[in-house]
Amino acid sequence: MLLYDGFDINENGHLTVGGYDTLALAEEFGTPLYVMNEDKIRENCRSFLESFGRYNGGMGKVTYASKALNCKAMCRIAAEEGLCLDVVSGGELYTALQAGFPSERIYFHGNNKTPDEIRYALESEIGCFIVDNLEELKLLQSDAAELGKTAVISLRVKPGVDAHTHDFIRTGQIDSKFGFALETGEALDAAKKAALYPNVLLKGLHCHIGSQIFETDPFVLAAERMATLMAEVHQETGITIEELNLGGGFGIKYIETDRPLPPEYYMELIADAIGHVCTHYNLPLPHLVVEPGRAIVGNAGITLYTIGNIKEIPGIRTYVSVDGGMGDNPRYALYKSDYTAVVANKASQPADETVTIAGKCCESGDLIQENTKIQQAEPGDILAVFSTGAYNYSMASNYNRIPRPALVMVKEGKPYLAVRRESYEDLVRNDL
């Protein structure tokens, strides 16, 4: 069967995570349950730091995109590993600060930051605002002036690179709600405006070209275009851009055929691309920032469910229903995302049954995966779904008033509770 790094099968034929029996986890903490292998998360952090961190003799930074999984435990891990943090809402910022994340290492993203969020982030003295639009720029200037502060900013740019098509140069990318367009001159104009604001310090340029990307070409093309924009900004405003942020998007393995590339592979190609442009324009090399989210936490997580009823529709398909579903993992319902699952208590048996894994929500589209191969399942078995560490907990909802699962971290062979399971009382907490 397909085994992922950090997972194993023990002498009882049970799947283990970070060396701990998943059956014991299900017993101890209940299901559905998010389980994260903390050792694996740290390994992922280090592999990014060891590659991108080395860029140009240590001029690289790794920013964890916390939208992939934001809770206090995860913010603490990112802080301890020396990563910066990307937050995209007041709530993510609040969680990070509550976890004691150093505010100067926080980047604040978002295409529609509210005035309250901007004020909160300024007062918290975060490291950098990734400015999306001119309204935000104006607001930052006036708020920063009022508070007697300087807002350090990067500009969010649409580089016209769409990683999800093979037509990388599609101008259709102008049609995105994020940032300033490069090809229309909008980005350069924004830089000129920023240069005139006394309480705004233009430090960087930022782009993000997509998610779950395996190709390198779109990153290289984005790096070239952004470095060229750096040169134009320098020419037009005299400002030397110190930091080039190329966003996240590094793909991970969900199914057997996925072939993720090691971070150093991207780093070298990107470094070359930036180097060429900077030499051409006689510019100093900028610091390089990347913002992986999925690639830090995705493959470190699994979800454990208890299998309930199994419905065989002869000649059609077999539904294996679990005690969670789109509430804890909406990604198949939203994107038809690939997943691999295993019956955790029969992990050493052959996966030769083709089934559809269904959730318990009152909705036909509440599926985790269709026509996937797992071991012969029976009610009461524990099902593990791999690679659910990113965009599962963070995208969970209470649809059908189903409480959200607990999240357990396994560290050095021992589990600890990182997020408590929601109770029915939690569900009515704000009801009046």
Interface residues with ligand LLP (CB under 6 A) are 65, 67-68, 86, 109, 208, 211, 247-250, 291-295, 331, 390-391
Closest CA to 312 of 376, 383, 385, 381: 376
On whether 291 is known to bind a ligand per the annotation, the reply is: yes
Evaluated on CA atoms 72, 287, 153, 199, the torsion sign reads positive
Min separation Cβ 85 and ligand LLP, Å: 11
Number of CB atoms found within 10 A of residue 224's CB:
18
Contact yes or no for 327/397 (Cβ under 8 A)? yes
**Structural tokens at position 136:** 């935000």
* Residue 362 annotated in active site: yes
The CA distance from 32 to 30, in Å, is 6
Q: Which alpha helices (DSSP H) does 174-293 contain, by range? A: 186-196, 217-237, 263-281
On whether 363 is known to bind a ligand per the annotation, the reply is: yes
Residue nearest ligand LLP, Cβ-based = 248
DSSP at 432: -
> Which CB atom, from 70 or from 375, has the smaller least distance to ligand LLP?
70
Min separation Cβ 363 and ligand LLP, Å: 19
Contacts of 416 (CB under 8 A, 6+ apart): 408, 409
Min separation Cβ 412 and ligand LLP, Å: 26
The full length of the chain comes to 432
On whether 391 is known to bind a ligand per the annotation, the reply is: yes
> Which CB atom, from 14 or from 158, has the smaller least distance to ligand LLP?
158
Q: Report how far Cα 68 is from the mean position of its chain's Cα atoms.
A: 3
> Which CB atom, from 18 or from 249, has the smaller least distance to ligand LLP?
249
On whether 293 is known to bind a ligand per the annotation, the reply is: yes
The CA distance from 163 to 157, in Å, is 15
Min separation Cβ 88 and ligand LLP, Å: 7
> Which CB atom, from 105 or from 346, has the smaller least distance to ligand LLP?
105
> Which CB atom, from 151 or from 157, has the smaller least distance to ligand LLP?
157
Min separation Cβ 356 and ligand LLP, Å: 20
Annotate 256-279 with DSSP letters as a single string: TT--PPPHHHHHHHHHHHHHHHHH
DSSP at 136: H
Pick out the residues of the known binding site for pyridoxal 5'-phosphate. 249, 291-294, 391
- Residue ranges of the annotated binding site are 249, 291-294, 331, 335, 363, 391
- Active site positions, annotated: 362
Binding residues for substrate: 294, 331, 335, 363, 391
